Structure 1
Amino acid sequence: MRELDRAEALRLLATVSLGRIVFTHRALPAVRPVNHLVDGEDVVIRIHGGGALASLSAPADAPGVVVAYEADAMDPDTHLGWSVVVTGYAQPVLDAKDLDRYADLLHPWVERATTTATLRIHPDLVTGFRLEAAAAPATPGGCRPRRESRP
C-alpha cells in the first residue's frame, strides 16, 4: 500500500464519476452514493430537495457543512486499485454561470423532477492510497530472480 500525495489523489478522483458522501443526518453519520465531477480541487455534486442531502445546503453566509467524500477504483480479482477521501466544507454553488456549467456537465444518475442545489466541497484534507502489486523478492546479493521466458 502506497500513500498518495494530494495532486495524485485529486487526479485519480477525477477519473471516476461515482463516490460516497459522508455527512451528519439527525446527529448520526450517514453515507449516500452520488456522482460527482472535480473542478480544480473542488468536488461538485448536485442534489434534490426533500432528501437527507438537502440539509447540506447551508446558508451562503455560513462556512458550510463538514463532509467527507470517498471514491475508489478497486479490482476485486487482483485486489489492486486506489481509494481517495476528501474532507472539507460543502457549500452551495450560487454563481449563475457555475450553476449552468455544472448542469451541463453533471447529470444526476437518479431521475428526479428537479435538482434543487449544487454543492461544492472544497477539500481541507485530501488523503489516499494505492494498493499495488508486491515487488518480486530480491535474492541474496540484491539481485532479483530472472524470469524465464516460455515458448
Structure 2
Amino acid sequence: MPPDPEREEALALLPSIRYGRVAMSKHALPFVTVARHLVDGESVLIRIHRGFDYHSALAGNVVAFEAGNVESGASEVWSVQFVGQARLIEPTEEQLERFGPLTERADGQRFDPAYLRIDPEFVTVHRLSGVPGPTGRSRHGPVGPHGPAQHSRSSGHSSGRASGQAPSSPSGQASGQASGPPSGHAPGQASDKASGQSQNADRTAS
C-alpha cells in the first residue's frame, strides 16, 4: 500500500486525545456512542460499554469513527474521521495497560468493557484556524466596542509608585496646608487682625 499522508496524519493526531465517537446503524436506525480509543500500529482500538449492546451491532460491520480537539478551547481545531470494519477482540495485557483504568459506571451500571479493532479507510482530517473563544470574550481578555480593553491608566499609577514617585495630588495638598493660612481665612485676614489689635493698644496707652 502506497503511503497515505492524510492517514498518517490522522494516526499521529489521535493519541493526543483519549475519547472519540463511533457511529453506525442498529435496527436500521443510526446511533453514536462515546468510545475510549488508542492507536495500535495501523489500526484503532476502541473500548465501549458492553451493557449498551452496541458492540454486537458494531462487530463485523463498517462503522464511522470521529475524534478531535473541538472541546479543548484551542484556536486551532482539528477533527479526524474515517470508516472501516470493526471486529471484536480480546486485548493483550500491554493494550489493556495503554487503555488505562476502566470507567466506573455507565448510566448508573457498572462499566463492562467490550473491545473492538477498526482498520481505518477513507480517512479525512479537517482543520479550523482562528476559532473564536466563548461569546463576548477574546483569547486575550474582555473586548470592548473598540477592541481589547486598555489598562494604561492603572499601569501608569503602578509604575509611578514602583519607581518611588509619590502621587502629585496628596503631596501638593499637604504642602499647601502646611505653608498656607488656616482653613477658612482668606490671605491678608490674619495680618489685618493683628494691625487692628496694635492700634487699640496704642489708644489705650495714650
Please confirm whether the aligned pair reaches a TM-score higher than 0.5, indicating the same fold: yes
Partner deviation per Cα, 1:30-62 (whole Å, 9 max, x = no partner): 01111111111211112333313232463xxxx
Match for residue 8 of structure 2? Answer: 7
Answer yes or no: is 1:129 the counterpart of 2:126: yes
Aligned partners of 1:114, 1:52: CA distance in 2, in Å?
A: 11
Count of residue correspondences: 122
Output the aligned Cα RMSD: 2.5
Aligned partners of 1:35, 1:17: CA distance in 2, in Å?
A: 6
Match for residue 33 of structure 1? Answer: 34
Q: Which of 67, 70, 74 matches 1:71?
A: 67
Q: TM-score, normalised by structure 2?
A: 0.52
Q: Which of 80, 86, 97 matches 2:76?
A: 80
Counting only pairs closer than 5 Å after superposition, residues 1-151 of structure 1 correspond to structure 2 as 5-56=6-57, 58=59, 64-74=60-70, 79-94=75-90, 98-106=91-99, 107-111=101-105, 112=110, 114-115=112-113, 117-133=114-130
Q: Per residue, is there more helix in 1 or in 2?
A: 2
Q: TM-score, normalised by structure 1?
A: 0.68
* Structure 1, unpaired ranges of 5+: 59-63, 135-151
Q: Which has the larger radius of gyration?
A: 2
3-state DSSP of counterpart to 2:65: strand
Identity %: 39
**With CA pairs under 8 Å and 6+ residues apart, which has the higher RCO, 1 or 2?**
1
Residues 110 and 33 of structure 1: CA distance in aligned 2, closer, same or farther (over 3 Å): farther
Are the counterparts in 2 of residues 25 and 52 from structure 1 also a CA contact under 8 Å?
no
Are the counterparts in 1 of residues 102 and 111 from structure 2 also a CA contact under 8 Å?
no
Q: Structure 1 residue runs of 4+, over 4 Å off?
A: 75-79
Q: Per residue, is there more strand in 1 or in 2?
A: 1
Partner deviation per Cα, 1:10-29 (whole Å, 9 max, x = no partner): 21112111111112122111
